[in-house]
Chain A
Amino acid sequence: MTDRPLTQNIRSDGSPTFLERYEANGGYAGVRKALADMTPESCLEEVKNAGLRGRGGAGFPTGMKWSFVPMGEKAGPGHKYLIANADEMEPGTFKDRLILEQDPHQLLEGMIASAFTIQADIAYIFLRGEYVLAAERLNQAIRECYEAGYLGKNILGSGYSLELRLHKSAGRYICGEETALINALEGKRANPRPKPPFPQVAGLWGRPTIVNNVETLCNVTHIISRGSDWYKTLGRGEDNGTKLFGASGNVKNPGVWELPMGTPIREILEEHAGGMRDGYQLRGFLPGGGSTDFLTEQHLDLAMDYDVIGKAGSRMGTGTMIILDDRNCPLGMVRNLSQFFGHESCGFCTPCRDGIPWIVQLLDQFEQGEATHEDIALLEEKAAFIGGIGNTHCALAPGAMEPVNSALKYFREDFERHVTEGGCTYHRAGGRH
Chain B
Amino acid sequence: MPQITIDGKSFDVQAGGNLLEVVLGLGLDLPYFCWHPAMGSVGSCRQCAMVQFQNAEDERGRIVMACMTPVTDGMHLSLSGERARDFRADVIEALMVNHPHDCPVCAEGGECHLQDMTVMSGHRERRYDGLKNTHVNQYLGPLINHEMNRCIACYRCVRYYQDYAGGTDLAVLGAHDHVYFGRHQDGVLESEFAGNLVEVCPTGVFTDKSLVHDYTRKWDLQSSPSVCVGCGVGCNTAPGERYGRLKRIHNRYHEEVNGYFLCDRGRFGGNFVNSDIRLTRSGQQQADNTFVALSREAALAKLAQSCGAGQRIAGIGSPRASLESNWMLQAFVGATQFCAGFGPEGAAVRAIASALKGGGVPSATLQEIEAADAVIILGEDVTQTAARVALALRQTVRNKGLEKAAAMGVAIWQDAAVRNITQNDCSPLIQLMTASTRLGDIAQETIALSPDDIARYGFALAHALGTGSGVTDMSAADQTRVEAIAAILRDAKRPLVISGSGCQSESVVNAARALALALQQQSELTRVVYAVPESNSLGLALLDDHPVSLRELSEQAQRGELDTLVVVENDLYRRAPTDVVETLLNAVPNIVVMDLIETNTIERASLALPVASFAECEGTLVNAEGRAQRYFPAIAGKPDQPPAWSWLADAAAASGRQALAGLNHIDALLQAIAADKPVFAGAAEAAPGAGYRDRIGLKVARQPARYSGRTAMYADKTLHEPKTTADEQSGLAFSMEGDNQSLPSALQPFVWEPGWNSNQSLHKFQTEVGGAMRGGNAGVRLIHPHDGTLADATALPAAFSPRDAVWWVTPQYRLFGSDELSAQSASVAELIARPQVSLSPADAARLNLTPHDGVAVSVGDRTVKCRVNQDAGVPEGTVGFIQGLPGNPVWASGEQATLERLPDFARPPEVLARDSEVAHG
Contacts and interface: CB of A to CB of B under 8 A. Distances in A.
A172 B174 CA distance: 12
B216 interface: no
B410 A350 contact: no
A22 interface: no
B584 interface: no
Nearest to B407: A76
B911 interface: no
A381 B86 CA distance: 11
Interface in A146-195: 172, 189, 193-195
A205 interface: yes
Interface in A200-259: 201-202, 205-206
Interface in B106-136: 127-128, 130
A201 B420 CA distance: 11
A280 interface: no
A391 B130 CA distance: 23
A385 interface: yes
Contact of B94 (A358, A361, A378, A389): A358
Interface in B63-108: 63-64, 68, 87, 90-91, 94-95, 97-98
B172 A197 contact: no
A393 B177 contact: no
Interface in A320-373: 342-351, 353-358, 361, 364
> How big is the B interface, by class?
35 or more
A61 interface: no
A188 to B, nearest CB: 10
Nearest to B89: A385
B280 interface: no
A344 B174 CA distance: 11
Contact of B95 (A193, A354, A390, A392): A354
A197 B417 contact: yes
Nearest to B420: A193
A78 to B, nearest CB: 10
Contact of B410 (A189, A196, A347): A196
A350 B420 contact: no
Given A193-B420, A194-B417, A196-B410, A358 B155 contact: no
A202 B410 CA distance: 11
Contacts, number: 113
Given A206-B420, A349-B45, A353-B153, A390 B63 contact: yes
B46 A351 contact: yes
A197 B174 contact: no
Contacts of A356: 176
A382 B127 CA distance: 11
Nearest to B401: A206
A346 B44 contact: no
Contacts of B68: 194
A302 B127 CA distance: 41
Contacts of A202: 408, 420-421
A388 interface: yes
Given A345-B177, A346-B175, A351 B94 contact: yes
B72 to A, nearest CB: 15
A381 B94 CA distance: 12
Contacts of B420: 193, 197, 202, 206
B47 interface: yes
B64 to A, nearest CB: 7
Nearest to A364: B130
B416 interface: yes
Given A347-B177, A353-B153, A393 B130 contact: no
A194 B34 CA distance: 14
A349 B62 CA distance: 18
Contacts of A201: 408
A372 to B, nearest CB: 11
Nearest to B180: A347
Interface string B37-77: 00000111111010000000000001110001000000000
B178 interface: yes
A62 B294 CA distance: 89
Interface in A260-308: none
Given A206-B425, A353-B153, A391-B63, A345 B176 contact: yes
A378 B179 CA distance: 25
A355 B176 CA distance: 10
A348 B34 CA distance: 11
Given A193-B420, A388-B63, A390-B62, A354 B90 contact: no
B556 interface: no
Nearest to B41: A194
B69 to A, nearest CB: 10
Contacts of B95: 350, 354
A185 B179 CA distance: 20
A197 B414 CA distance: 10
A80 B422 CA distance: 15
Contact of B43 (A172, A389, A393): A393
Contact of A358 (B97, B172, B178, B408): B97
Nearest to A205: B423
B461 to A, nearest CB: 28
A361 B153 contact: no
Contact of B416 (A194, A346, A382): A194
B423 A348 contact: no
Nearest to B409: A196
Contact of B130 (A172, A351, A361): A361
B416 A385 contact: no
Nearest to A382: B90
A121 to B, nearest CB: 17
Contacts of A351: 46, 90-91, 94
Contacts of A195: 417
Contact of B175 (A193, A345, A357): A345
Contacts of B152: 350
B42 A194 contact: yes
Contacts of B425: 206
A129 B127 CA distance: 39
Contact of B155 (A348, A378, A382, A391): A348
Contact of A347 (B175, B404, B409, B416): B175
Contacts of B153: 347, 350, 353-354
A172 B45 CA distance: 21
Contacts of A390: 62-64
B127 A378 contact: yes
Contacts of B87: 385, 391
Contacts of B404: 206
Nearest to A352: B176
Contact of A343 (B91, B172, B176, B417): B176
B94 A350 contact: yes
Contacts of B414: 194
Contacts of B127: 378
A27 to B, nearest CB: 37
B175 A350 contact: no
A393 B67 CA distance: 12
Contact of B176 (A193, A194, A347, A392): A347
Contacts of B63: 388, 390-391
B40 to A, nearest CB: 11
Interface string B383-417: 00000000000000000000010001110001011
B532 to A, nearest CB: 39
B176 A342 contact: yes
Return the 8 tightest CB-CB contacts between A and B, nearest first. A361-B130, A347-B179, A354-B94, A345-B176, A385-B90, A206-B423, A202-B421, A354-B97
Interface of B: 42-47, 49, 62-64, 68, 87, 90-91, 94-95, 97-98, 127-128, 130, 152-153, 155, 172, 174-179, 404, 408-410, 414, 416-417, 420-423, 425
Given A350-B94, A355-B94, A388-B63, 9 more contacts: A196-B408, A349-B43, A351-B90, A351-B94, A353-B176, A354-B177, A378-B127, A390-B63, A393-B46
15 contacts: A193-B417, A194-B414, A197-B408, A345-B175, A347-B172, A349-B45, A349-B46, A353-B179, A354-B95, A355-B94, A358-B97, A361-B128, A388-B63, A390-B64, A391-B46
